[in-house]
Amino acid sequence: MRLAGVLWECASETHALPQMQSDIERVLFDGPAIHKRLDEMAAQITADYSGRELTVIAILSGSLMFMSDLLRRIPLPLKLDCLSVGSYHGKTRTSGEVIFKQLAVPDVADRNVLILDDILDTGYTLAAVRKKLEAAKPRSIRVCVLLSKRKQRARDVDPDYIGFEIGDEFVVGYGLDFMERYRNLPYLGVLRKELLERPNQ
C-alpha cells in the first residue's frame, strides 16, 4: 500500500533525531535560547546599520541556519552572498590552510560588509576571509559569529558581534557539523568525546 509506505518512511526519518541526540553529551543552547539571542543581535545590527545598505557574506555551510534566522530579523535593505571555504578535511582540528572553494570572490567594492560565520575557533578561517574581502576595498567590514570559543587563537580575530562565548569544546547542531553530520539538530550541543576520537566513521 502506497500510503502506508510513505507513512513508514516519514516515521523512520523522525527516528533519526533521537539517534543523533544520543551522540550529544549535553545541550548548550536550545532553540528558544538561540532565537532569543538572535533577537538581541539583530536589533543591535539593525540599529548600527540604520540608513546604510548591508552586504552580508555568509560562510558556508556552518552559518546556514544562523544566517537564515538572523537575516529574517533584520528589516534593512541588504544584499547576500555566500562563500564556501574549508579547512578541516573531515577532522575536528583545522589544518590551518583555508581553501576557497569558488574562484570568484563577491564584489564588495565600496560596500558595508558584514561577514557571518557559525563559530570562531583558531581564527584561521575568518582571518583569511577578511583579508580576501579587504583586498576588494569595501567601505567597511565587520565580523559576526554565533559562537566564539574562549581560547588562545592562532590568528587574531576580534568579532564585532558574538552570539555566545563558549569553552574550548567541539559543538554541533544548528548548522555546525562533525564530518558533515548533525547540522539539522535544532539546538547547539557538545558532541560526546569518544565519537571525536574514532578514526573512521
Q: Does 176 bind ligand IMP (CB under 6 A)?
A: yes
Is 121 part of the annotated catalytic residue set? yes
Whether 173 contacts 189, CB under 8 Å: yes
In this complex, which beta carbon is closest to ligand IMP, that of residue 59 or of residue 71? 59
Q: Binding mask 41-80 vs ligand IMP (x if CB under 6 A, - otherwise)?
A: ------------------x--x------------------
Distance CA 84, CA 127 (A): 15
Nine cell digits for residue 174:
544548528
Contacts of 155 (CB under 8 A, 6+ apart): 122, 123, 124, 126, 127
SS3 at position 103: coil
Q: Considering all CA atoms of the chain, what is the largest pairwise distance in Å, rounded to the nearest integer?
A: 61
65, interface contact from ligand IMP, Mg ion, none, CB < 5-8 Å by kind: none
Nearest residue to Mg ion, by Cβ distance, number only: 62
174, interface contact from Mg ion, ligand IMP, none, CB < 5-8 Å by kind: none
**Length of the chain counted residue by residue:** 201
Distance CA 135, CA 121 (A): 23
In this complex, which beta carbon is closest to ligand IMP, that of residue 59 or of residue 74? 59
Task: Using the Cα atoms of residue 183, residue 187, residue 189 and residue 194 in order, give the sign of their dihedral.
Answer: negative
119, interface contact from ligand IMP, Mg ion, none, CB < 5-8 Å by kind: ligand IMP
In this complex, which beta carbon is closest to ligand IMP, that of residue 74 or of residue 171? 171
70, interface contact from Mg ion, ligand IMP, none, CB < 5-8 Å by kind: none
160, interface contact from ligand IMP, Mg ion, none, CB < 5-8 Å by kind: none
Q: Of 121, 156, 160, 177, which one is the catalytic site residue? A: 121
Q: What is the DSSP letter of 100?
A: E
Site of grid cell 569558488? 102
State residue 57 phi and psi, 5-degree precision: -115, 110
Q: Which amino acid, residue 26? A: R
Q: Binding mask 115-144 vs ligand IMP (x if CB under 6 A, - otherwise)?
A: --xxxxxxxxx-------------------
Q: Does 175 bind ligand IMP (CB under 6 A)?
A: no
User: Which residue ranges make up the site for ligand IMP (CB under 6 A)?
Assistant: 59, 62, 87, 94, 117-125, 170-172, 176-177
Catalytic residues: 121
